[in-house]
Amino acid sequence: MKQNFLLIVILLWTTTATATETEVIEKYIFNQDQVNLASEIIDKLESNHLVKKDYRAVKSDSFEIFIDRLDPNKNIFTTSEVATVFKDINANSTITNDLEIAFFLFNNYVSRYKQRYKTQINFLDDISENNLKSSRTLIRALSEGERLNTLDELKKLWIDLSINDVIQLMLSGNTIDESVSKTIKRMENQLNYFEQTRNEDVFNIFVNSIASVYGPHTAYMSPKNSEDFDINMSLSLEGIGALLSSDGLYTSISSLVPGGPAEKTESLKPEDKIIGVGQDEKGEIIDVIGWRIDDVVDLIRGPKGSKVRLQIIPSTSINDNETKEIEIIRNVVKLEDQEAERKILSLKRNEKEYKVGVIELPAFYFDFDAYQKRDYNYKSSSKDVKRLLQELKTENIDGLVIDLRNNGGGSLFEANELAHLFLGRGTTVQVKNSNGNIQGLGGRWGYQYFDKPLVVLVNKFSASASEILAGAIQDYDRGLVVGTSTFGKGTVQKVDLLSSGQIKFTESKFYRVSGSSTQNLGVEPDINLPSLFDIKDLGESNLDRALAHDTIPSTSFKNFNRVSNFKELLKQQSLSRVQSSALFDSIEKRKKWQKENELDFLDLNLEVRLQQKTKIEEYLLNNENKLRASLDLPTFETYKEFVEREDDPEVLDVNSEILEEAANILIDLIEIKNKPLLASNFVTQSS
């Protein structure tokens, strides 16, 4: 079978290129141990994953993912080359045959990668300003475009990519010579790292392509990656406290570890793209565009107390020219850095001053080792929150806001315990395992520790255990959920040991007491609040092959009947404040302008791009100055002055503004409940 496959592919390659261009050397080969390990991984997934899939039935999907991971921007393989691969995939073939195809594909990928490198270097050696006056365009999102049909078309694309790289650097203030030099150096660095690819790397890409068919949270971890995973789970990693992801070109911030150095700087945000890494005060910024993610991680890691400098494209940037450099002091992320914190907001309303308690919970943490050792002083989020609630009670707060923004989850046990502080006894969440068994989690006994009005504040990065707590508060009608829709991760993963490395797979699924899964949909807030981000492209539902949302029968639960009758009135009152907020208005206008002026194609003409850049900078400057003028703050003369500004005053802090609005919603609820006639009139008119 292998010989037939090789013959077909070689014939195909030679119809589109010369023999010297397509010489394939099988540098990368697999061994019998990897065959055995791949079989072990497939057996584990077929028997234990929540979603039952026969590998033979999804084999084509595995190869589709494999090709997408090798060539995400569709500038290596042609349409016919990919089609030929799929013609030769046999559902009943052995894993040995599948590995033969995968490794042969990768060796052809290596050949084409080096061909692209030579073509681009040769072009850049002779580039002139005339090449920057093209009337051609380049699709912005190459991964969303169609594959090209011929090698000649690929070569034209490679040239266009090089022109765009040079233009991008010139838009950042470099001369043409500097831009060409930096582009060549970037390509040489990428080739250098690419040539460090090992046989096990190719194997890992392929078996993870198989694992990804089962869902985005299923993955094989090699012994090295397993070690990294264990370090992250124990929170003893010396670094910046950030989880990274890669699209094959850019390394992006996936999430920030609560209490970690990166989060504490408040300069790095989810979805920011890392394009360069420098060490200490004066270390050279190394361009990491196109690097393997583990190599980027190795650059960012370092000893406690040392400094790392990151060059990033902020997630809020309108285009990739808007970059900035941030500094982070590396440190060990400790459990106590994730501790819940409290504060009191004093807000005046109708001559009355309200005291709103706020508990910020970055994660659902639990020191399992200390608990097993029967250490009475073990750390846990529920114990800390209970202590903070007691302190807030002594200060006679009128109500509470639980801030779960950016809380990515943690211990299911802790989410359950926290819910009971506000609900008393009862089921908080239902869990369905891979055998189809459904179990309700919660206490048959318990008492309500905090009974005053409650608001839960969430955003798109509130996930997993956060969604369990918010969903339970909402279903029981115990309090209001405000903010944006949450992430939508409603699954539980398990890690099992293999003969080499580990496999992480989805073993069960969360369901709210109402029977609705949090998967994909997340928790929809009772009252929506503005977001700095356009959240439609974020969340579980945007991950490839995410498990579907579904429902199961509801379980019995108490209806506190605290807020449901007042939601429409509360929405109207909040909307009135949001619409009158200069800061919220400025954010919404910027997002709307960005959407209306979003370009699907990049002009390969420097002059046109300069005009576009000027237009963007003028808009951003004018939008900012209008906001500042409305708040009686100093304005900026130039865009450069705006970009290099010092820290903004608190009045321009979006996060604080959202928290204050959540507190105002809580006060609205308190006042409505204190004025039953107003509430009943509104309910009657609405119905």
| Residues recognised as catalytic | 464, 475, 489
- Strands 491-497 vs 399-403: parallel, antiparallel or unpaired: unpaired
Is the Cβ–Cβ distance between 361 and 308 less than 8 Å? no
Which of these, 411, 333, 428, 409, lies nearest to 368 by C-alpha position? 411
Residue of 189, 212, 201 whose CA lies nearest to 63: 212
CA distances, 236 to each of 118, 232, 241, 254, 266 (Å)? 43, 7, 10, 19, 21
Contact (CB, 8 A) for 539 and 485: yes
Q: Residue 480 and residue 448: Cα distance in Å, rounded?
A: 17
- Alpha carbon distance 99, 202 (integer Å): 10
Which residue in 103, 594, 47, 543 sits closest to 317, CA to CA?
Answer: 594
- Secondary-structure percent of the chain, ordered helix, strand, coil, rounded to 5: 45, 20, 35
Q: 253 Cβ partners below 8 Å, 6+ apart? A: 242, 243, 244, 262, 268, 269, 270, 271, 272, 273, 274, 315
Residues β-bridged to residue 454: 400
| Among the listed residues 277, 279, 231, 276, the one whose alpha carbon sits nearest the alpha carbon of residue 257 | 231
Task: Determine contact, residues 389/421, Cβ cutoff 8 Å.
Answer: yes
**Residues 528 and 484: beta-carbon distance below 8 Å:** yes
For the record, the structure tokens of 265 come out as: 């700087």
Contact 486, 474 (CB under 8 A): no
Query: Beta strands of 301-437 (E only): which ranges?
Result: 307-313, 324-329, 331-332, 341-349, 352-360, 399-403, 426-433
10 Å Cβ neighbour count for 108? 23
